[in-house]
Amino acid sequence: MNWKEKVVLVTGGTGSFGKKFIQIMLEEYQPAKVIVFSRDELKQHEMRMSGFDGPRLRYFIGDVRDQDRLRRAMHGVNIVIHAAALKQVPACEYNPMEAIKTNILGSSNVVEAALDAGVEKVMALSTDKAVNPVNLYGATKLAAEKLFVQSNAYAAGTVTRFSCVRYGNVVGSRGSVVPIFIRQRQNGKLTITDARMTRFWLTLEQGVRFVIRCTEQMRGGEVFVPKIPSTRIVDLAKVIAPDAELEVVGIRPGEKLHEVLINEDEARATVELEDMFIVQPSSALWFGYDWQNQGRPLPDGFRYTSETNPQWLTVDQIREFIAPFEKIAFEGNGISEP
């Protein structure tokens, strides 16, 4: 795919993912135009003032809850990356209808606007919390996944195709435990919810590059899942603050001990490639099966979980993951380096 000929729109473009995606797009792929679609004028202003400016970049104020505004924004757009979401688990639990309006109805609006505008490819970002969800955030992202996959049925005879990328925790993203641990280190005590807890981890740049690659390769109907390492929350805490006391505060509502990226039911419709899995739609035999003969089927009962993952971060790899956030803390907040 020649990105230089494409107009790209990013919903939630002022978020952690959106900014990194746009940075890499402008520096390495030089698309014809990139549109930042988000609802916060201050964040757009701050983004522009931080250096995100130029003749190929546009800022478009709008909310994914507003279908008409999305239709206007997508006029002439070739590629849509749907990253807008309410993602904080406690906030979604306390404000359930707001999570539904943004994460489910907003995703439906993205689908409708893309179909009407004749967008070529639409890639939605999902999360490991969408698999066997135990909180509302995960449930809304599961619903959004289903919307995107099944909406390929509405695109029959047109160019528009929909797919999803599903991955785990992004190191240092907003709400991540890494900046929290770095702040708590000054008090000599880190709070963890459960010493047994494990999580999938990847860097923001790894997530962005995976999304770019999958957008290039997508045929429509797939859910792309990268093979990424796990880490124990205790190991993360000990690397950040080896001398700090660990206080176990208990699992919060809607939290899991271990995350799942592919469950045993999905595994029956999944093929394994060298560095990722591709979940094919199990209920629609007439689309989404272009990868069937390009990977290996998974064995019965296969589950891809953070607890049983064969790939784990070493202490040195954890240090490498968190190094940029140590630097930010040291330079920006006067926090001493460990």
**Residues designated catalytic:** 129
Computed on alpha carbons and rounded to an integer, the radius of gyration of the chain in Å comes to 20
Give CA–CA dist 217/310, Å, rounded: 26
Q: Where are the beta strands (DSSP E) in 203-274?
A: 223-226, 230-232, 245-248, 260-262, 270-272
Q: CA quadruple 67, 72, 76, 81: dihedral positive or negative?
A: negative
* Nearest Cα residue to 268 out of 260, 279, 259: 279
Give CA–CA dist 130/128, Å, rounded: 5
Paired tokens of 281 = 């739609």
* Nearest Cα residue to 147 out of 118, 111, 99: 111
Q: Where are the beta strands (DSSP E) in 23-157?
A: 33-38, 57-61, 79-82, 121-127
Give CA–CA dist 206/199, Å, rounded: 16
Residue with tokens 């505008």: 117
Paired tokens of 139 = 């449930």
* Pairing mode of beta strands 33-38, 7-11: parallel
